[in-house]
Amino acid sequence: MYCWRLNMTRQELEQFFDDLLSPGGFQDYGPNGLQVEGAAQISKVAFAVSATADSIAAASAVKADALVVHHGLFWNFHGPKTITGSFKRRIFPLIQNNINLFGYHLPLDAHLEVGNAANLAKLIGISEFYPFGDYKGSPTGVKGNFETPISALDLQEKLCSILNHSVMLASSDADQVIRSVGIITGGANNEWVLARQEELDAYITGEMSEHDWHESREAGIHMFAGGHHATERFGIQALMERVHSKFDLEVLFLDSDNPA
């Protein structure tokens, strides 16, 4: 049981994240959880989509005790990294300012309450949704039906407004009505195939490659790509609100103008 307080220990906050997001159930692209150890006591927590030089500098400027992100600092595809150059400019401010860095990738994509896909689904008018996607046995998004069917063109316009970002649409008929959709935010451009396999009408993600544009529309799937960063702002903000409501800690969201 959690109760309101003005501060908490690093271990208590990490345990809360573990209990909520169950990161141990995912085989991810890198480590989830505490990535850089900082202050033992936490009273102010900053949240951002990615651990970048800008977000870390901003967290330092507001004297945050912790920075919680969706995209952390360590990825398997990078391999071992020396603490030099641009990586040094990310690491050093965290250590110098005693800031804890927490990162949660796939667990935050897939969560049915504070997840990226779940919160985007709510915003576009899907109130009941289910796990969708499969990365090494774990879901990575959600699927569901629109309460009121919507044309592909109207959904594109709605997404543009919600995301405040341009939205690419691959469709053989943009006036066609969409009743069902799968959502995996970020860089899951190849996963439109799962939408086809599950006989969904549409698929929403963040990125679209050249061949996906052709292949998805030829397969009869309406595919939308609204930006990697833009589609992944919702989960981290929902997690921030959950932390604030549970513990009444001081929290703030550090946004980015990343157009990708």
Give the pLDDT mean for 133-139. 95
Q: Which domain holds residue 214?
A: 110-231
Same domain, 72 and 170: no
Burial class (CB in 10 A: 0-12, 13-18, 19+), 136: exposed
- Residues 230 and 49: their CA atoms lie apart, in Å, by 9
In the chain, count H helices and then E strands.
Answer: 10, 13
pLDDT at 2: 45
Lowest mean pLDDT among 2-6, 59-63, 253-257: 2-6
- Residues 165 and 187: their CA atoms lie apart, in Å, by 15
CATH for 178: 3.40.1390.30
Same domain, 52 and 152: no
Same domain, 125 and 160: yes
Same domain, 180 and 226: yes
Same domain, 122 and 215: yes
Which residue matches tokens 């049981």? 1
Domain contains 77: yes
pLDDT at 7: 86
Average predicted confidence (pLDDT) for the chain? 96
Residue, of 3 and 137, whose pLDDT is higher: 137
Same domain, 37 and 87: yes
* pLDDT, tens only, 3-57: 555 789 999 999 999 999 999 999 999 999 999 999 999 999 999 999 999 999 9
Burial class (CB in 10 A: 0-12, 13-18, 19+), 252: middle
pLDDT at 139: 96
Query: Measured at the alpha carbon of residue 115, what is the angle toward residues 112 and 119, in degrees to the nearest 5?
Result: 90
